[in-house]
Amino acid sequence: MASSSTSTTVIREVSKGVWIFSAPFKRNGIIPFGGRSTAVKLTNGDVWVLASTPLDTESKERLDALGPVKWIIGADAVHYMFLGQFKKAYPDAKVIAVADSEPKVKNEGFKFDGAWGADPEGTKYGFEDDIQHCYFSGFRNKDVAFFHPESKSLIQADLLLNLPPTEQYSKTNSWASIPLLGGFVNPFSGLYQRMVWSLGVDKEAMKRDAKIVDGWDFERIIPCHGDVIEKDGKKAWRSAYKFFLE
């Protein structure tokens, strides 16, 4: 099947075997946040994908070319909308997601094969030789941070935003900036630092997990919302999580 020429998804390889799928998305149908899925080709040839955008024709073609999709990841309690679509396309893949999102997909005909927040602490799912994970139980959206050491990439959903979503809107005619907030929703903004602090509903758990991520050797940050931070990702993390790392 030929790729759709009308797709608004921007697909590119940010590092060897690491592909991103950047698409326009408006939160509450109003605020341009952008959306992004990320796929990683593991050392055994399998594909791990954080599924957070529609599986359009071009995206599926790229994933199929990359290798067999064996892991479908839901990164937090609110990134669940496309899990069923991916599971339908890749029925043999295991869905690992956050427990708080499972009730939201109960009518879609599949179950999670693993769930952060329900499984025992320290549970391993099978991809840990390539990708590490840290579940932020104290974050409002119950996010999970992922670290791919080979590419020095931190992959996550809502733990860190880097707006405006320029790349995610680059194939549209829509304006990507957020009204009023402008460029303040980024890790180097004082306003954003306070926003991150407010999203920590368990401050001690947040301090613990923010320090775990800070101990990872990453250079790049791949967020679901906003532009990829290609270098100095550790500086961005330390800025956004300043109050939890002090």
Q: Is the CB of residue 158 less than 8 Å from the CB of residue 224?
A: yes
pLDDT at residue 9 in the model: 97
Considering the domain boundaries, does residue 4 fall inside one?
A: no
Say which CATH number the domain at 206 has: 3.60.15.10
- Give dist(CA 92, CA 204) in Å, integer: 38
Q: Is 115 helix (H, G, I), strand (E, B) or coil?
A: strand
DSSP state for residue 232 in the 8-state scheme: -
Q: Please report whether residue 3 resides in a domain.
A: no
Is residue 54 a contact partner of residue 85, using CB atoms and an 8 Å limit? Answer: yes
Please tell me the total count of domains within the chain. Answer: 1
Q: Is 2 domain-assigned?
A: no
Beta strand 153-156 with 144-148 is: antiparallel
Residue 57 within any structural domain of the chain: yes
Structure tokens at 31: 């605020």
Residue 175 belongs to a domain: yes
Identify whether 204 is part of a domain: yes
- 158: domain range? 10-119+126-245
Q: Report yes or no on 32 lying in a domain.
A: yes
Q: Is residue 19 part of a domain?
A: yes
Per-residue pLDDT of the chain (246 residues; tens, 9 = 90+): 344 458 999 999 999 999 999 999 887 666 788 999 999 999 999 999 999 999 999 999 999 999 999 999 999 999 999 999 999 999 999 999 999 999 999 999 999 999 999 999 999 999 999 999 999 999 999 999 999 999 999 999 999 999 999 999 999 987 767 665 657 899 999 999 999 999 999 999 999 999 999 999 999 999 999 999 999 999 999 999 999 999
Q: In terms of C-beta density within 10 A (0-12 exposed, 13-18 middle, 19 or more buried), how is residue 69 classed?
A: buried
Number of Cα atoms under 13 Å in the Cβ half of residue 104: 15
